[in-house]
Amino acid sequence: MAQFDVYPNPVEELRASHPFVLEVQSSFLKRPIAVIAIPLARLELSSDPVTTLNPRLDVAGEALVLETLAIGSYEPGELRRPVTNLAAHGQAIWDALDFALHGY
């Protein structure tokens, strides 16, 4: 597992609207009991406009929106086989988290 890896959503019922989750947890923990992740929503289904809080990210050729305020955690075994890594978009992801936590 690596920070900014993208995984298929482990919650099958949510995959139609939120096909992936983005791991944001630092990899400094070697054996975490939980992994912090943010769901990625299909752009056309997102209720929030694309802003600093909810940046648009492309995964597997599909436009998705990071739903930062829906941040949650999963057991490490629930996240399997990353489909990509979004480290190239790390600044936008950090800006969204910072905006959510600090408001600026």
Give pLDDT, residue 79: 94
Instruction: Report all structural domains of the chain as residue ranges with CATH numbers, in order of start.
Output: 5-102 (2.30.30.110)
13-21: long-range contacts (C-beta < 8 A, 24 or more apart)?
A: 14/39, 17/41, 17/42, 17/45, 18/42, 18/67, 19/59, 19/62, 19/64, 20/59, 20/64, 20/83, 21/74, 21/79
Q: What pLDDT, in 10s, does the model give residues 8-48?
A: 999 999 999 999 999 998 877 777 889 999 999 998 766 65
Average pLDDT of the chain?
Answer: 90
pTM of the model: 0.90
